[in-house]
Structure 1
Amino acid sequence: MRTGSSSRRGTLVAASLGFVVVLLDVSVVNVALDALLREFRTDVAGLQWVVNAYTLVFAALLLSSGALGDRLGPRRIYLGGLALFTVASVACGAAPGLGMLVAARLLQGVGAALLVPNSLLMLQRAFADPVERSRAIGWWGAIGGIAMAAGPVLGGVLVAHGGWRSIFLINLPIGLLAGALTLRHVAADGPGHARRLDGPGQLAAVLALAALTATLVEAGRLGWTSAWVAGGLLLALVAGGAFVWIEARSAAPMLPLGLLRIRAFAIASLCGVVVNFGYYGLVFVFSLFFQVQQHLSPQQTGLAFLPMTLVLMGASVLAGRLVTRIGARRLMVMGLGLAACGYALLLPVRIEGAYAWLVLPMLLAASGTALCVPTMTNLALSSVEASRAGIASGVLNASRQVGGLLGVAVFGHLVRHTAPQAFLRGMQLSTGIAAVLLLLGCALCWWRLEPLPRGR
């Protein structure tokens, strides 16, 4: 194993590659929706399961996997997560049916949850100097953000030239490279911390999220009066209540409820839910809109998202510089307001309308989202003590994934009928809901968020 700066750079590349495949698989699958629709003769609910099976497990296990890394060592858990993610990706690419694809996506989600927090723990251990560590984490976040933004474009090219299976098989060479770099450059794990795992809380969280997701997805097939739907809602409520009860009494909770009493942190987490609810839902709906309603090819669909991709990259970099100049409160208000305007401008969209009418609304929605994400991260971490920064980051990321999960479930339910007029009504309702929620978040930040010192 190399030492010194070469080893630190190798650790950064290895950790970033793991983050790249995780975020690619959040967004890349959307441009293959029409291909999956035809391949498996499924409906919108089936497509929702392909997207949400991954996000569901990722969100539910994100907090516990960091504790597992503390206990057993981040390098060991990262390599295990990378192996599981890579094997599950191959299983996705080889899936003979929809059920097997969804099962493989669930395994991908487990691998993703193991990868993300432990990649950060590896960086924290490799970069002892706070300034160097901050830069390394900045590069890690920027590379991951570019991967997620570029997902639709890359996915379009892969589907067009290699079929839908290629969007999963591309993870094989990336996973092998990341594993080799990890073995070569990342220091071996030392003695772990005797940190307890919150098993009961984890079980309750999985049950609550799984029941809620299944209810929202299957309500379109079974109807809201179905006994199965009513039972799913009841299970989600009971499991959610049990989760809060367990966390309030646990000696080592996966979600310390005291964090939610810190106003700035609670607002940042809530805004994380709202922002990802709108953005993930928008990408899912417009992927269907471009492919099923406007009959664009996967490659054309990926290129249709290109303006959003470019502005996401640029605005993310800009937000990191602006937050220390104008403050988190103003930047959050600006970002949420811009995103709300973008969604509102999508309301008059028609199926036969020209693509040019979509560019400005999509740019506004993406730029507002990009301004919010690094700002809410800065806000969340600045509002807690340094010793709790790790758990605060985990809670914020979990809340964002839950928001994305709900966005795809709710918006997918609204556009479940693919007949043009029914789909259009569902799409308009989806964008309207997103705009209202973002405006409420904007008002919440303006009235309840106290400005933090700019240098903090």
Structure 2
Amino acid sequence: MCRMNSLNTSASPALGRVLATVSVGFVVTQLDVTIVNIALPEIGGNLHANVAGLQWVVDAYTLAFAVLMLSAGALGDRFGARRLYAAGMVLFALASLACGVALDAPMLVAARALQGVGAAAMLPNSLALLNQAYGHDPKLRARAVGLWTASGAISIAAGPVAGGLLIAAFGWRSIFLVNLPICAAGFLATLLWIPPPQAARSAQQDAVKADASPRGIDLGGQSLAIVALTAFVAAVIEWRPLGLRHPLVAGGFVLAALAGVAFVAVEARARAPMLPLSLFGKRSFSAAVVFGICVNMTYYGMVFVLSLYLQRARGYTPLQAGLAFLPLTGGFLVSNVASGWVVGRFGVRVPMIAGAITAGLGYGLLHFVDAGTPLVGLLVPFLMIPSGMGLAVPAMTTAVLASAEARRAGTASAVLNTARQAGGAVGVAAFGALAGGSAATQIVAGMQAATAISVGLLVLGGVMSCLVHPQPHSSAPGRRQADSVRVGNSR
């Protein structure tokens, strides 16, 4: 007993370092989702981009992030999550440098897409590394996921605030260049604090032996996923300026539908699909994924619209607009940390339902906001939305990890985050189209329509939460792997 206690105690600092290291990747990928929103008016004026062009600045990143995560997760399962995570960190830094020196809008959009590629390599594999370290203990994993999710959620919420401060001090290019020291620190920590564990290598070898063909890149499925999602988002973005009957818009929707159907058909027949459809045979997994789509569609879309509302309808500077977002950070911080305790005590269903209700009420309050609403009128919804999301998202992530086999943790987390990022891209495209006018009345009307849609989506999310298995569990392979890691560390 004493020996076991000493093992657990000695392993704690190592587990803490793993959590800190993988959180760096989550922070930087999530920070770039929202930090750019506060800079959109500045970017549009400097690079002569209209609202549709600004939507592409946001969605180029989100699309690449979404469509490549499945392949990145599969490659992480095959070649090692640590290796893919480190490579993604380097690529993200280089792409951020390209964003910071972009000379025109097309160059910025291309660099943003490259950032998305790096983010896709980091995010699913950071969660896989976390699951390797904590998967043996459901309650410990729930708390670790809560802290990991808190780091990303706070980054999302802090993005507009940090962006406003950086723009005021150094200009809009600084919001991308700030990623360079963060990535350098994360890469160094990965090399020092996440050595390739012997147990993980053994597990990967066993997984490869168990499969008839090792998982790799599913080129057919990957190509169709890119076509389907890009065509759909492009059609949504161009719907308002061109009209539904325009050949590019109508053709985009048709192409997206055909590519989507073809994608499902290809994945159903592929020997090593990038999207294992069998995962969706588990009710908890499917319900949690739908929940994630609803959450990201509402939040990403609303942050885009609120950035336009604060700066164009209310006339705020980037710094003032960024500070107006400050309550979001506090709400995420408290609720994300609390979520791990709530999940450990009540399971995943209760915080998901409560979070959906709380965030939905926050969006409902925003529906009554107009250009003349006092800033204090935004305070309550700006606290309720992150409080609800921060409570629900760690529980949702825990539900996904608990429903998947240990050897497919990278793929399962990639499916979840792909769905969430895809939902975010669609949210930006759809809500941005609703609020795409230049007049304050058009922006306010679009924001009110977006809040009504958000409430409906979170009602759907609440219904999906009822289908999730209430208690997370750990798989036997995950437990055996964690035991092996502890024994290996004691040597």
Q: Same fold (TM over 0.5)?
A: yes
Structure 2 residue 318 is the aligned partner of structure 1 residue 298: yes
Of residues 421, 427, 437, the one that matches 1:407 is: 427
Same amino acid, percent of matched pairs: 47
Contact 1:204 1:240 in 2 (8 A): yes
- Structure 1 unaligned segments of length 5 or more: list them: none
The alpha-carbon distance between structure 1 residues 434 and 167, as it changes in their structure 2 partners (threshold 3 A), is same
Aligned to 1:159: 167
**CA distance in structure 2 between the partners assigned to 1:304 and 1:215 by the alignment:** 32
Aligned to 1:118: 125
Q: Which amino acid aligns with 1:452?
A: P
- 1:309, CA displacement in angstroms? 1.2
**CA distance in structure 2 between the partners assigned to 1:175 and 1:357 by the alignment:** 38
The alpha-carbon distance between structure 1 residues 259 and 4, as it changes in their structure 2 partners (threshold 3 A), is closer
**CA distance in structure 1 between the partners assigned to 2:297 and 2:451 by the alignment:** 11
SS in 2 for 1:416: coil
Contact 2:99 2:176 in 1 (8 A): yes
Aligned to 1:435: 455
- 1:390, CA displacement in angstroms? 3.7
Aligned to 1:181: 189
Structure 2 residue 459 is the aligned partner of structure 1 residue 452: no
- 1:396, CA displacement in angstroms? 1.5
Structure 2 residue 287 is the aligned partner of structure 1 residue 267: yes
Aligned to 1:146: 154
Query: Structure 2-normalised TM-score?
Result: 0.85
Tell me the alpha carbon deviations over residues 234-266 of structure 1, each in whole angstroms, 9 at most, x when there is no partner: 110111011100111112122121222322221
The alpha-carbon distance between structure 1 residues 410 and 389, as it changes in their structure 2 partners (threshold 3 A), is same
Contact 2:312 2:440 in 1 (8 A): no
- 1:346, CA displacement in angstroms? 1.3
Structure 2 residue 65 is the aligned partner of structure 1 residue 49: no
Contact 1:326 1:454 in 2 (8 A): no
The alpha-carbon distance between structure 1 residues 213 and 101, as it changes in their structure 2 partners (threshold 3 A), is same
Q: Which amino acid aligns with 2:346?
A: I
SS in 2 for 1:413: helix
**CA distance in structure 2 between the partners assigned to 1:21 and 1:453 by the alignment:** 31
The alpha-carbon distance between structure 1 residues 365 and 122, as it changes in their structure 2 partners (threshold 3 A), is closer
**CA distance in structure 2 between the partners assigned to 1:269 and 1:33 by the alignment:** 30
Of residues 34, 47, 63, the one that matches 2:41 is: 34
The alpha-carbon distance between structure 1 residues 432 and 318, as it changes in their structure 2 partners (threshold 3 A), is same
- 1:150, CA displacement in angstroms? 1.6
Tell me the alpha carbon deviations over residues 319-373 of structure 1, each in whole angstroms, 9 at most, x when there is no partner: 2212233343333222212222111111221112211111112222222222221
The alpha-carbon distance between structure 1 residues 35 and 136, as it changes in their structure 2 partners (threshold 3 A), is same
**CA distance in structure 2 between the partners assigned to 1:125 and 1:278 by the alignment:** 31
- 1:185, CA displacement in angstroms? 3.6
- 1:444, CA displacement in angstroms? 4.4
**CA distance in structure 2 between the partners assigned to 1:116 and 1:415 by the alignment:** 30
Tell me the alpha carbon deviations over residues 157-214 of structure 1, each in whole angstroms, 9 at most, x when there is no partner: 1111111000000011112222223333432586875433222111111111111111
**CA distance in structure 1 between the partners assigned to 2:445 and 2:154 by the alignment:** 32
Aligned to 1:101: 108
- 1:49, CA displacement in angstroms? 0.5
**CA distance in structure 1 between the partners assigned to 2:472 and 2:14 by the alignment:** 34
Tell me the alpha carbon deviations over residues 134-159 of structure 1, each in whole angstroms, 9 at most, x when there is no partner: 36555433323322222121111111
Structure 2 residue 9 is the aligned partner of structure 1 residue 19: no
Contact 1:48 1:408 in 2 (8 A): yes
Query: Structure 1-normalised TM-score?
Result: 0.92
The alpha-carbon distance between structure 1 residues 154 and 6, as it changes in their structure 2 partners (threshold 3 A), is same
Contact 2:150 2:332 in 1 (8 A): no
Summarize the alignment of residues 299-314 of structure 1 with structure 2, pairs less than 5 Å apart. Answer: 299-314=319-334
Structure 2 residue 95 is the aligned partner of structure 1 residue 88: yes
Of residues 328, 339, 344, the one that matches 2:348 is: 328
**CA distance in structure 2 between the partners assigned to 1:188 and 1:323 by the alignment:** 30
- 1:385, CA displacement in angstroms? 4.3
Tell me the alpha carbon deviations over residues 65-90 of structure 1, each in whole angstroms, 9 at most, x when there is no partner: 02212333333322321221111101
**CA distance in structure 2 between the partners assigned to 1:307 and 1:295 by the alignment:** 20
- 1:313, CA displacement in angstroms? 1.1
**Residue-pair matches, total:** 452
Aligned to 1:223: 243
- Structure 2 unaligned segments of length 5 or more: list them: 1-9, 209-213, 475-491
Aligned to 1:278: 298
- 1:217, CA displacement in angstroms? 0.9
**CA distance in structure 1 between the partners assigned to 2:328 and 2:175 by the alignment:** 20
SS in 2 for 1:187: coil
Contact 2:139 2:344 in 1 (8 A): no
Tell me the alpha carbon deviations over residues 20-56 of structure 1, each in whole angstroms, 9 at most, x when there is no partner: 2111111111111121121122221111101110010
**CA distance in structure 2 between the partners assigned to 1:317 and 1:441 by the alignment:** 21
The alpha-carbon distance between structure 1 residues 171 and 455, as it changes in their structure 2 partners (threshold 3 A), is closer
- 1:455, CA displacement in angstroms? 7.6
Contact 1:324 1:455 in 2 (8 A): no
Of residues 267, 279, 288, the one that matches 2:308 is: 288
Of residues 326, 335, 355, the one that matches 1:315 is: 335
Q: Which amino acid aligns with 1:18?
A: G
Contact 2:56 2:109 in 1 (8 A): yes
